[in-house]
Structure 1
Amino acid sequence: MTQPKTQPGSLTRRRFLTTAAGVALATAAAFHPGRALAMDPIKTAGIYTVPVEQQWVSRIHKAALTAQERGDIDYTYSENVSNTDYARVMREYAESGYTLIIGEMFAVEAEAREVAAEYPEIAFLMGSSFKPDDALPNMAVFDNYIQDASYLSGIVAGAMTETGSIGMVGGFPIPEVNRLMHAFMAGVKETRPDASFQVSFIGSWFDPPKAKETAFAMIEGGADMLYAERFGVSDAAQEKGVLAIGNVIDTQSDYPETVVASAIWHFEPTLDKAIEEVKAGNFKAADYGVYSFMKEGGASLAPLGTFDGKVPQEALDLVEQRKAEIMSGDFVTEIDDSEPKSM
């Protein structure tokens, strides 16, 4: 399928789901995921509003490529799909015989659910802040719950900051970002109780220059450690000689003297579960967010790499202790979706 040539889109604000009256009626016919049993590999499409190089989407894309390499899916994708085009692209893939459609419907909740209702025989696995709807049995939702790894990265950051002033640059103050920032801040407090935070959101998912300028301002304000939720932040840290903590992907190879640690999202457990359910004919409305938890293999703290031996051992011991407690269930990282504030 030819990928739509659309202008880069961004999720300008989170819409609350408005349920159209026709959605429930359209899904009255039962979803028959068993129809996918004959499709091996599963014909899968990804629909993304940003480039596949963007942190969050890159993890979905990577997992899909891995599944394709082992023969589980036949994968294609469209990137830079604008919010106004999203429903149209969904329909194009649905009409082209794709059995599994994955993507991120954060800014197009109502429209995406309406499209899914029109194609009850197709499995939709979509990033969303909302819960699954039993009236829409062919749509499952997911989210990146990597707060465990973010918390551990905060422990490292707190041990490495000299001034105790930390700058945090995010895209939008939405649950997916907020919970990671809060977890990071809680981790920092473990090793630097007197830490202060400068928090700012740039209003875009992919605007490295703006993120960089925001980070510069934080450095001018005294920050010697930056939380790089967006691309561009680590560039500012590198130029000014301060440290940074990565998010979702490991960028230390690009910033070997700057990025101390990163909280990594592994989408493979989420996608693999969906593939398993489609193959078994059991795909249904469900919340796949749990497969991003560290206990499920959905998150990890990246290796220290060039910072091995530079992080205080006391902090590393605490990281290992908390990690073991997280895996055993003895420690639960708080999930706080409220907007973080400078403090």
Structure 2
Amino acid sequence: MVNDSKSLLSALSRRHFMQLSGATALALGGLGHRAFAAEPISTAAIYTVPVEQQWVSRIHVAAEAAQARGDITYTYSENTSNSDYERVMREYCEAGHKLIIGEVFAVEDAARAVAADYPDVAFLLGSSFKPKADLPNFAVFDNYIQDASYLSGIIAGAMTETKNIGMVGGYPIPEVNRLMHAFMAGAKEMQPDIEFQVAFIGSWFDPPKAKETAFAQIEAGADLLYAERFGVSDAAKEKGLLAVGNVIDTQSDYPETVVASALWHFEPTLDHAIAQLKAGSFKADDYGVFSFMKEKGCSLAPLGTFEGKVPEAALKLIAEKSAAIMDGSFTVEINDTEPKSS
């Protein structure tokens, strides 16, 4: 009975201490009361899809690189259902992890509730919403790779012969919509009268459905496909057509199919968060800018097997636009509205 009483008192004392610590953290406006300069930051990631999926794979690769150089320790959960996301977040927090990364597009309210309960933990999560001042330990990011998407569109516009491009996406949400719009704008730089077939499959990872949707677009006249999802390039390959990739470079798997890809580099986003934690100055912030080309957060993949096959006019325009993006004289429009077929 004495031991039970001591355990209860200990638990109550610990809860009281955490509440006081949380209040202090809120008063300080962030996690500035603790720095991690001399130790790897214990980091956990929660993914709703396999780590092979395009978007998540870029986070995974950056985290593994940070662990390899000793900045963090890294563990992760993949294929976590939305209904289970909050539980997994809490388990990682209770286990002592100090940085939680992942994507919470479908579980925003639950994720922010967890962050409020663990003010000494830093959260860096993919989100369609902005950070809030009353939740100083919750920073957001997104894949703002519209710069690279625009450049890949220029190549697509130069390579299509039917002037009909098929586009298959997961869901019409901002982080997909803005990339499609940028791609379309780039394509129209080469041929203003290009038409686009736009479709969404209602899934982040359903290659068979994406493939069938792409086949339908080919039947309707598309001779080039924008592969926002896995499965689209398979359809292009089977029909002997070209495809443009998104987020990762899959040309090694489709050497005669994938002519270009807009790449996302998560390293600048994660590295900035690590630096802020090490300095004791992590706070609620919008990390979206670290996906911009100027911050080395995105790039156009090397042409590889298509070297010498892309029209010179397109390459010249890409060089001009790239320089203008980097020096700030040209800005690719960020359009988050749902794209439509034209």
TM-score, length-normalised on structure 2? 0.92
Per the alignment, residue 301 of structure 1 pairs with 300
One-letter amino acid of the counterpart of residue 265, structure 2: H
CA deviations on 1:247-301 (whole Å, 9 max, x unpaired) are: 0000000000000000000000000000000010000000000000000000000
Distance in 2 separating the partners of 1:146 and 1:307: 22
Per the alignment, residue 19 of structure 1 pairs with none
Per the alignment, residue 184 of structure 2 pairs with 185
Distance in 2 separating the partners of 1:37 and 1:246: 38
What is the Cα deviation at residue 36 of structure 1? 4.4
What is the Cα deviation at residue 39 of structure 1? 6.1
SS of aligned partner of 1:75: strand
After superposition, where does 1:46-85 map in structure 2 within 5 Å? Answer: 46-85=45-84
After superposition, where does 1:226-241 map in structure 2 within 5 Å? Answer: 226-241=225-240
Per the alignment, residue 45 of structure 1 pairs with 44
SS of aligned partner of 2:48: coil
What is the Cα deviation at residue 194 of structure 1? 1.1
Per the alignment, residue 127 of structure 1 pairs with 126
Matched-pair contact (CA < 8 Å) for 1:27–1:118 = no
Per the alignment, residue 140 of structure 2 pairs with 141
CA deviations on 1:224-267 (whole Å, 9 max, x unpaired) are: 00000000000000001110000000000000000000000000
Per the alignment, residue 279 of structure 2 pairs with 280
Distance in 1 separating the partners of 2:65 and 2:170: 28
SS of aligned partner of 2:34: helix
* Structure 1 residues 137 and 224, CA gap change in structure 2 (3 angstroms): same
Deviates more, 1:36-45 or 1:190-199: 36-45
CA deviations on 1:105-153 (whole Å, 9 max, x unpaired) are: 0000000000000000000000001010010000100000000000000
Per the alignment, residue 5 of structure 1 pairs with none
SS of aligned partner of 2:39: coil
SS of aligned partner of 1:35: coil
Distance in 1 separating the partners of 2:317 and 2:277: 41
Distance in 1 separating the partners of 2:31 and 2:200: 42
Matched-pair contact (CA < 8 Å) for 2:25–2:31 = no
Which of the two has greater helix per residue?
2
Matched-pair contact (CA < 8 Å) for 1:36–1:99 = no
Matched-pair contact (CA < 8 Å) for 2:31–2:122 = no
Stretches of structure 1 that go unaligned for 5 or more consecutive residues are 1-23
After superposition, where does 1:298-337 map in structure 2 within 5 Å? Answer: 298-337=297-336
One-letter amino acid of the counterpart of residue 224, structure 2: M
Identity %: 74
What is the Cα deviation at residue 35 of structure 1? 2.7
Per the alignment, residue 268 of structure 1 pairs with 267
Paired residues in the alignment total: 320
What is the Cα deviation at residue 34 of structure 1? 3.6
What is the Cα deviation at residue 51 of structure 1? 0.2
Per the alignment, residue 201 of structure 1 pairs with 200
What is the Cα deviation at residue 25 of structure 1? 9.0
Matched, 1:219 2:199: no
What is the Cα deviation at residue 192 of structure 1? 1.2
Per the alignment, residue 15 of structure 1 pairs with none
Matched-pair contact (CA < 8 Å) for 1:103–1:126 = yes
One-letter amino acid of the counterpart of residue 244, structure 2: I
CA deviations on 1:196-221 (whole Å, 9 max, x unpaired) are: 00000000000000000000000000
Matched-pair contact (CA < 8 Å) for 2:46–2:88 = yes
Distance in 1 separating the partners of 2:227 and 2:24: 42
Over the aligned positions, Cα root-mean-square deviation in angstroms equals 1.4
One-letter amino acid of the counterpart of residue 88, structure 1: R
Distance in 2 separating the partners of 1:311 and 1:336: 27
Structure 1 runs of 4+ off > 2 angstroms?
A: 24-39
After superposition, where does 1:9-28 map in structure 2 within 5 Å? Answer: 28=26
Matched, 1:117 2:116: yes
Distance in 2 separating the partners of 1:153 and 1:145: 14
Deviates more, 1:28-37 or 1:290-299: 28-37
What is the Cα deviation at residue 28 of structure 1? 4.8
SS of aligned partner of 1:263: strand
Matched, 1:92 2:91: yes
SS of aligned partner of 2:172: coil
SS of aligned partner of 2:226: strand
Matched-pair contact (CA < 8 Å) for 2:26–2:119 = no
CA deviations on 1:148-193 (whole Å, 9 max, x unpaired) are: 0000000000000010000000000000000000000000000011
Stretches of structure 2 that go unaligned for 5 or more consecutive residues are 1-21
